[in-house]
Structure 1
Amino acid sequence: MNHEQSRSLYDRALSVMPGGVNSSVRATQPYPFFVERGDGGHVIDADGNRYLDFVMGYGPLLLGHDLPEPVQSAVQQRAAEGPMYGAPTEVEVELAEFVRRHVPSVEMTRFVNSGTEATVSAVRLARAYTGRDKIVVMQGGYHGAQESTLVEGEGDHTAPSSPGIPPEFAEHTLTLPFNDAEAARELFAEHGDDIAAVLTEPILGNYGIVHPVDGYHETLRELCDDHGSLLVFDEVITGFRVGGLQCAQGKFGVTPDLTTFGKIVGGGFPVGAVGGRSEIVEQFTPAGDVFQSGTFSGHPVTMAAGLETLRYAAENDVYDHVNGLGERLRAGLTDILADQAPEYTVVGTDSMFKVVFTRDADGTQAGGPCDAGCTQDPDCERFETCPKTGADVKRAETERWQRLFWPAMKEQGVFLTANQFESQFVCDAHTEADIDEALEAYKDAL
């Protein structure tokens, strides 16, 4: 492939943007390709190279790059009527009503502008509502670029994971290994009366996709109930992708007190949201005293895009299509790994997928209970060795994935997320032929 234009653009970008990018995960070696446009389930770069796209904007593009006519018309109409107003519009009420109808935990919603802003607001709300300062996050979980959750360490021995964050922030953040119910009980036994909230992704989505062990979220729910803490599900990635319109909380049958959203709920435009029980969410100003505000919150173009995307998904069997393709892809990958790399693990559910370059998993998933992605099934022969925490994924062959596998897939015209950890996604514009093409590329690259 020719990449002269992308190289030239990157050279220019290095002079005006730190690292030449505006989000660190876009920095690939030796330099990223620059996208010119999207086309259904594909992207075309500045040099005219065409890629089968499984990044999907890191998750927001449930429908792909070509918006269906109802979505496109709604976006164009709102944009033509004026960029924004600094006043409420009907469409934000309609989107909030849609979310309330379909998501089990949500009675009220406050729309914001990013997943990070949503989790920042949720943490502030939980602390104010409970009158407590400490929060619990999962090791390997990700809740945006915010000081309270950018921590590393174990239990109450934590420190900031980035320069520029005062150590005092980490003092109020406790960590747990995902899927370790006993560690959760021990942490609550020691700190339960000081914990405002447990913040977790239903499925770890920024650490290779780690499925919950059966009963883990139920344990967190019980501990929060027993100690007066709030359970917060970060569904920025899984919201309206895993579990369809009910989101992952509906799929797993666990109802949190608060839920944070992003990505799909804005239909591909910048968005975030905090939803939950009315008595909690009403603590936000102006109904309550917990300050939260934003110039672009409830932006009419974003609200219209999100509402029409979800309506289209509900009325056109989108979830059946993308979930079917996801299962076809994961099952095909499982068969390939059985022949070529039996120590690696296929992960994902619904329209999410990834191959984790695990080191110590024996045997194969093919023909077993997890033959289309690891679901932490105790009857699977790999149950003891499949990844259960973020640390398990971190011990995988991350350098091989990033430096050898990702470039090999790119050269075959398949665009994957640029590291071992980020989720990959199927969209409604993908076809069975696209899945088969991707599987052939995996065979060659692995």
Structure 2
Amino acid sequence: MNHDRSRALYDRALSVLAGGVNSSVRATKPYPFFIQRGDGAHVIDADGNRYLDYVMGYGPLLYGHSVPEEIQAAIQSHASAGPMYGAPTEIEVEHAEFVSRHVPSVEMIRFVNSGTEATVSAVRLARGYTGRDKIVIMQGGYHGAQESTLVEGSAEHPKPSTAGIPESFAQHTIPVPFNDTEAIEQVFSEHGSDIAGVLVEPILANMGIVMPVDGYHETLRSLCDDHGSLLIFDEVITGFRVGGLGCAQSRFGVTPDVTTFGKIIGGGFPVGAIGGRSEIIEQFTPAGPVFQSGTFSGHPVTMAAGLSYLEYAAENNVYSHINDLGSQLRTGLSEIVADQAPTYTVVGTDSMFKTIFTRDGAPDPDGHCSGGCQQNSDCSRFAHCPKTGADVSRAETDRWERIFWHEMKDRGIFLTANQFESQFVSYAHTKADIEQTLEAYKEAL
């Protein structure tokens, strides 16, 4: 493949953009390819190279790059009426009504402009509602670029995970290992009366896709109830992708107090949202004392895109199609891995997937979760599958980034550039695309 134009564009970008990009994960080595346009399940770069896309904008593109006509018409109708108004519009109300009808935790919602803004607001809301300061997060979880959650270390020794955050900020955050019931019980035993909320992705989706072990979310729900803390599900990635219109919380049967959204809820446009019980969400100004506001919040084009995205899914066989393709892909990957790299672990659910280059595997590969790790205690690989973010970090992450990603790119497959972020199947993908992808994995592995 020729990448001369992408290389030239990156050279220009380095002079005017920090690191040559506007989001760190796009800075692939030695330089990223620049996208010119999308076409269904494919992207075409600045040099005319065509790739089968499983990044899907890091999750928002449920329908790929060519949305159904009904969705496109809704977007164009609102875009042509005017860019934005600084006043409410009917489409905001309609979108809020749709979400509240389908998501178990949502009685009321506040739309914002990004997943980060949603989680920032949710943390402030939890503190304002409870009158407490401490927030529990999962080690390896990701909740956007915000001071309260860019924290690493242990419950006893939290510290900022990036420059620019005062050490004192991290003292209000308690990191615990995902899926570790004993650890979270100990934290509540010591700090329960100071914990405003537990912020958790239902599935660790920025850390290789780690499913919850049986009963873990029920434990979080029970501890929050016992101590008067809020359970906050970060469904920025899983929302309207895992569990269909009911989101991951309906899949797991655990209802949080507050849910944050992003990505799919905006139909590919910048968006975020915080939903939950009315008594909690009404703490936002102007109804309550917790300040929250935004110039572009509830943007009419975003609302039209998001609502039409979800309405189309409700009226058509969208989730059945993409989940079936996701299952075919993970099953095929499991077979390839068992034959060529038996220590590796295939993970994912619904339309999400990833292959983690784990270093240890079961001595007998038979009897494993063929459709991706589900943390099944009866599975022969159960002791070897990643349970925490640290488990994923111990995988062969350099091998993915330095070798495997490039091998797949050279075969026309666009994957997320490191071991950690999720990959996605869209409504635009076909069975032939899955077969092509599996052949590429066979060759690259």
Residues 114 and 272 in structure 2, CA contact (< 8 A), matched pair in contact too: yes
Aligned to 2:214: 214
Q: What are the equivalent positions in structure 2 for 1:288-327 lying under 5 Å apart?
A: 288-327=288-327
Amino acid paired to 2:136: V
Aligned to 1:436: 435
Q: What are the equivalent positions in structure 2 for 1:72-221 lying under 5 Å apart?
A: 72-221=72-221
Number of residues of Structure 1 aligned to a counterpart in Structure 2: 445
- Specify the SS of the correspondent of 2:305: helix
Aligned to 2:417: 418
Counterparts of 2:38 and 2:156 in 1: how far apart (Å)?
45
Residues 44 and 51 in structure 1, CA contact (< 8 A), matched pair in contact too: yes
Question: Percent identity over the alignment?
Answer: 76
CA deviation vs aligned residue, 1:32-85 (integer Å, no higher than 9, x gap) = 000000000000000000000000000000011001101101111111000000
- Specify the SS of the correspondent of 1:197: strand
Gaps of 5+ in 2: none
Q: How much does 1:365 deviate? A: 5.1
Counterparts of 2:364 and 2:317 in 1: how far apart (Å)?
32
CA deviation vs aligned residue, 1:346-403 (integer Å, no higher than 9, x gap) = 000000000000001224655x351110000001001011000000000000000110
Q: Which runs of 4+ in 1 moved over 6 A?
A: none
Counterparts of 1:294 and 1:24 in 2: how far apart (Å)?
25
- Specify the SS of the correspondent of 2:159: strand
Aligned to 1:409: 408
Aligned to 1:352: 352
Aligned to 2:370: 371
Residues 368 and 381 in structure 2, CA contact (< 8 A), matched pair in contact too: no
Counterparts of 1:101 and 1:227 in 2: how far apart (Å)?
29
Shift in CA distance, 286/365, structure 1 to aligned 2, threshold 3 Å: farther
Q: How much does 1:314 deviate? A: 1.1
Counterparts of 2:435 and 2:56 in 1: how far apart (Å)?
18
Residues 330 and 347 in structure 1, CA contact (< 8 A), matched pair in contact too: yes
Aligned to 2:397: 398
Q: How much does 1:336 deviate? A: 0.1
CA deviation vs aligned residue, 1:113-145 (integer Å, no higher than 9, x gap) = 000000000000000000000000000000000
Q: How much does 1:168 deviate? A: 1.0
Gaps of 5+ in 1: none
Counterparts of 2:374 and 2:330 in 1: how far apart (Å)?
12
Residues 338 and 364 in structure 1, CA contact (< 8 A), matched pair in contact too: no
Counterparts of 1:395 and 1:328 in 2: how far apart (Å)?
27
Amino acid paired to 1:408: E
Amino acid paired to 2:376: D
Alignment of 1:238 with 2:262, yes or no, is: no
Counterparts of 2:213 and 2:12 in 1: how far apart (Å)?
47
- Specify the SS of the correspondent of 1:331: helix
- Specify the SS of the correspondent of 2:275: strand
Aligned to 1:381: 380
Counterparts of 2:364 and 2:140 in 1: how far apart (Å)?
25
Counterparts of 2:198 and 2:393 in 1: how far apart (Å)?
23
Q: How much does 1:289 deviate? A: 1.0
Amino acid paired to 1:413: G
Counterparts of 1:131 and 1:158 in 2: how far apart (Å)?
21
Residues 337 and 364 in structure 1, CA contact (< 8 A), matched pair in contact too: no
Counterparts of 2:125 and 2:157 in 1: how far apart (Å)?
24
Counterparts of 1:401 and 1:363 in 2: how far apart (Å)?
23
Residues 156 and 173 in structure 1, CA contact (< 8 A), matched pair in contact too: no
Counterparts of 1:71 and 1:423 in 2: how far apart (Å)?
25
Counterparts of 2:371 and 2:292 in 1: how far apart (Å)?
42
Counterparts of 1:220 and 1:257 in 2: how far apart (Å)?
11
Residues 347 and 354 in structure 2, CA contact (< 8 A), matched pair in contact too: yes
Amino acid paired to 1:269: F
- Specify the SS of the correspondent of 1:399: helix
